[in-house]
Amino acid sequence: MINWTEYIDVWPKVKRSARTTISRDGNGTYPSDSWKKTILLAEHSPIRRIRFSWRWEKLKSWVSVHFVRHKQGIEHWISTQRSDRTGVNRDKSPQDTPVLHECEANAQALIFISRRRLCSQASPETREAWKEVKEKVTAVDPVLGSVMVPECIYRGFCPEFHSCGYADTEAFQQALAEYRRKE
């Protein structure tokens, strides 16, 4: 469903910015994975320099709506459904009409959206679309991908009104330990 992605490795800039925030000089050397995991888990402001772009093709319109609800640290560009541009009466279009949905998001937005859209309470279609984003991110930046987790892993417990029960399993405990591991 995703036809392209774009990622530029800016970790030396992230490290330099982090050093600036603590009034230290920084030469922008490449940080270790442990350092990257630490700053991502802390969600310190320099992680917002990390940007990832992608485009879904044939995303159901109603699934696209789930993603446009996220506004902080992310931009959305979605194909129009205007009747005068498409020749199709938009009032007659079903909710599963496919759209093109292009995004650019910073690391903090990727982490936040994952908390909502990887949760088993999210619709299966929305969860699958976001899992695809996570897979693409993980392929180019495994450390960033490792902190893109559902809310229960992020918090260490399930905050939902009606839990799916995952937080009561051994698999949850293993996932939580992996998330917290900095190596």
Domains of the chain, each with CATH number or no CATH: 2-180 (3.30.1360.170)
Using CA atoms in the order 32, 39, 50, 25, what is the torsion angle rounded to 10 degrees? -70
Residue of 13 and 1 predicted with greater confidence: 13
- What's the confidence (pLDDT) of residue 164? 95
Q: Which of 15-29, 48-62, 142-156 has the lowest mean pLDDT?
A: 15-29
- CA distance to 106, 113, 116, 118, 131, per residue, from 124 (Å): 24, 15, 12, 9, 10
What are the helix (H) ranges across 102-182? 107-117, 124-140, 142-146, 151-155, 170-180
Q: What is the mean pLDDT of residues 82-107?
A: 89
**Backbone dihedral angles phi then psi of residue 54, each to the nearest 5 degrees:** -160, 165
pTM of structure: 0.94
Residue of 41 and 24 predicted with greater confidence: 41
- What's the confidence (pLDDT) of residue 28? 67
Residues with Cβ within 8 Å of residue 168, at least 6 apart in sequence:
none
Give pLDDT tens digits for 141-174.
999 999 999 999 999 999 999 999 999 999 999 9
User: Does 88 score more than 90 pLDDT?
Assistant: no
Q: What is the mean pLDDT of residues 60-64?
A: 96
User: Does 52 score more than 80 pLDDT?
Assistant: yes
